[in-house]
Structure 1
Amino acid sequence: MGGFFEAVLSFPTVLLTPLLIVVIGYWLVVVVGGADPEGDGGGEGGFLGFLGLGGVPVSVVLSLLIVFAWFATLAGAELLGALPAALVLVGAVVAAWVVTRVAVLLLKRFLPAGAEPSRADFVGLTCVVRTGKVTRTFGQAEVHAPDGSSAIVQVRQAGNDDLRAGTVAVLYDVDTDGDFFWIIPADIANPS
């Protein structure tokens, strides 16, 4: 075991050992619920996107880079001891980038694309009333999403408008507790 600690504390591995300790500490905090690994984004742009490492949360990318680079410096220093340590460090960083890039490409296949759909996405869209009438306690309407799909949703109205089957209305609010939408006639919502 003494040889392992000697290798970890020798150049070039010693440069990445503190970063590896930070990564391990971070993921321990994530495991106990003290941090959100997805809270740091994961967009395609920025510097990581330029390096081909975008699309995955930054904490995951940096963790993979550090772990792979640390392991590559450890293995490179032991296996290629005749090479200069600086060359081993550069080679380890390049190898870590390649392996991390492959890992990111694989991870992106399993991550959801875009935000989770929500009922609030329907607010502002027009709908067609499908029940005989809409009251404060009853009604259904058909709404078409921007992607072309349609849904029958529960609707209510606050006023005394004559909202009957076939009437075009606008969904202006969602009541998440009651699981329904508030509607008003489209001619009121969009006066000409």
Structure 2
Amino acid sequence: MDFLNTIFTFPTVVFTTLLLIVIVFWLIALLGFADIDMLEGDVELEADGGGSFFQMGFGGVPLTISISLVVLISWVTSFYAHKLFAYALGDGVMFYLLGSAMMLGCFVASIPLTALLIKPLRRFFDSKETASKNDFIGLECVIATSKVNSQFGQAKVQFQGTEQLIEVRADEEGLFALGDVALLIEHYPNKNSYLVVEKPW
């Protein structure tokens, strides 16, 4: 009860709410209804403009992973800070002012810690980042989601001895289901995805 009281009390409750959202997202992603690279387009725009995430060393992994780690670390640090310094927060308006300052401090502290944790993860995404997008054109892929349409879809493709998960799109809905084999024929740079069609043979 003490644990639940802490995580559902301001300021930790803010990060608890965000953490619950992150957990729900990853559950949906595991079911194949969400893409871990869904924010990649925004990441590329930030990179071109010298965005803050890249300046802090968050590049090289999907933004969804970076955000998830920031939320998780913020929640952990906020929980322990709340436990240790609850007596110093005071009452009334001061409680919310000092609580907000504690929340902001936990968030700021989570950023360099997340950047540090991301470094060993980058190698798992290197092959995808370094491979030329056009190298996949003409290759066969296996559909990895329950459906593929003009807005959603993922597939697994074998490239240089490794299996990679890529974003795919189809002009018509209902052509593909989980496990179907398709052909990659075009790359959409603005969407970072590939057009797939049925195999002609």
Query: Into which bin does the TM-score normalised by the smaller protein fall?
Result: 0.5 to 0.7
Higher helix share: 2
Q: Once the two structures are superposed, what CA deviation does each residue of 1:172-192 show, in whole Å capped at 9, x if it has no partner?
A: x9xxx69xxxxxxxxxxxxxx
Residue number in structure 1 paired with 2:116? 102
Ranked by relative contact order (alpha carbons within 8 Å, sequence separation 6 or more), the top structure is 2
Residue 60 of structure 1 is aligned with which of 65, 71, 81? 65
Mapped to 1, the partners of 2:6 and 2:115 lie a distance apart of 27
Deviation at 1:10, TM superposition (A): 1.3
Q: 1:33 offset after TM fit, Å?
A: 1.0
What one-letter code is carried by the residue in structure 2 that aligns with 1:78? K
Q: What's 1:118 paired with?
A: 135
Q: Which runs of 4+ in 1 moved over 4 A?
A: none
Taking a change above 3 Å as real, the CA distance of residues 36 and 100 of structure 1, as seen in their structure-2 partners, is: same
Taking the aligned partners of 1:74 and 1:60, their CA distance within structure 2 comes to 21
Q: What corresponds to 1:158 in structure 2?
A: none
Equivalent in the alignment of 2:142: none
- Please, what is the CA RMSD of the aligned residues? 2.8
Where 2:86 maps in the other structure, the secondary structure is coil
- 1:40 to 1:6, Cα distance in 2 relative to 1, 3 A: same
Unaligned runs of 5+ in 1: 122-172, 179-192
Q: TM-score, normalised by structure 2?
A: 0.53
List per-residue Cα deviations over 1:35-65 (Å, max 9, x = no partner): 1102432547133113321221111111111
Relative to the length of structure 1, the TM-score reads: 0.56
Distance verdict in 2 for CA 1:114–1:3, change over 3 Å: same
Give yes or no for contact 2:28–2:34 (8 Å, CA) kept in 1: yes
How far apart are residue 97 of structure 1 and its match?
A: 0.8
Give the Cα separation in 2 of the matches to 1:82 and 1:93.
21
Structure 2 unmatched ranges of 5 or more: 90-98, 139-184, 186-198
For the residues of structure 1 that align with 2:22 and 2:136, how far apart are their CA atoms? Answer: 38
Query: What's 2:22 paired with?
Result: 23
Q: Secondary structure of 2:107's match?
A: helix
Corresponding position of 2:2: 3
The answer to which of 43-52 and 4-13 deviates more is 43-52
Larger radius of gyration: 1
Partners of 1:87 and 1:65 lie apart in 2 by 17
Identity of aligned residues (%): 28
> How far apart are 1:7 and its partner, in Å?
0.1
Contact 2:56 2:112 survives alignment (8 Å): no
- Alpha-carbon distance, 1:34 to partner: 0.9
Distance in 2 (CA, whole Å) between partners of 1:3 and 1:62 is 27
> In the alignment, which residue of structure 2 is the partner of 1:86?
100
Tell me the equivalent position of 2:54. 49
- For residues 119 and 35 of structure 1, do their structure 2 counterparts lie closer, same or farther at Cα, with a shift above 3 Å needed? closer
| Counterpart contact for 2:15–2:71, Cα < 8 Å | yes
